[in-house]
Amino acid sequence: MYEFSTSTLLLAFGLTVFAGLGTGVGSLMSFFHKKFNPKFL
């Protein structure tokens, strides 16, 4: 099968977690933003 090093797997999972957190923070910001402003999106 394939052989992956630990650092490669940690990098992949780290990037995935970072992307997920960024998406979550952005969606919370747009959800709790009071005024509708197309420029904000």
Q: pLDDT tens digits, residue range 15-24?
A: 999 999 999 9
Average pLDDT rounded to a whole number, residues 4-20 = 96
The confidence score (pLDDT) of residue 29 equals: 86
The confidence score (pLDDT) of residue 16 equals: 98
pTM (predicted TM-score) = 0.65
In sequence order, the 6+-apart residues with CB closer than 8 A to the CB of 30 are 40, 41
The residue whose two tokens read 């998406």 is: 23
Q: Which residue has the higher pLDDT, 40 or 16?
A: 16
CA 33 to the chain's CA centroid: 19
Average pLDDT rounded to a whole number, residues 3-15 = 94
Average pLDDT rounded to a whole number, residues 2-22 = 94
Q: Contact at 8 Å (CB) between 15 and 23? A: no
Q: For residue 4, which amino acid is it?
A: F
DSSP tag of 40: T
